[in-house]
Amino acid sequence: MFVETGCEKCRNAWMSANQDKTLQHVGKENYERQARLHRCNDCGTYWEEPNGAYPSGLSESDAKRLYNV
């Protein structure tokens, strides 16, 4: 669930236009999943941003497996 993922700073970044300083795009896009991977510079949470869907948290093991980070 979104409210239980990451920290307040990265959750707020998803809800605003100010993502550049908090959420960093990492790894390559996963075209099979049609998604991009981001990581919070503050708490280290991995976030998957699917095209056309709301972002969700990923475990570090899933981020490594799906995005080779």
Amino acid at 57: G
Candidates 64, 47, 49; CA nearest to 7 is: 47
pLDDT tens per residue, range 5-50: 999 999 999 988 776 789 999 978 999 999 999 999 999 999 999 9
Strand order through the sheet with 56-58: 23-30, 35-40, 46-50, 56-58
Collapsing DSSP to helix, strand or coil, 1 comes out as coil
pLDDT tens per residue, range 45-66: 999 999 988 899 999 999 999 9
pLDDT-based confidence at residue 3 (cuts at 50, 70, 90): confident
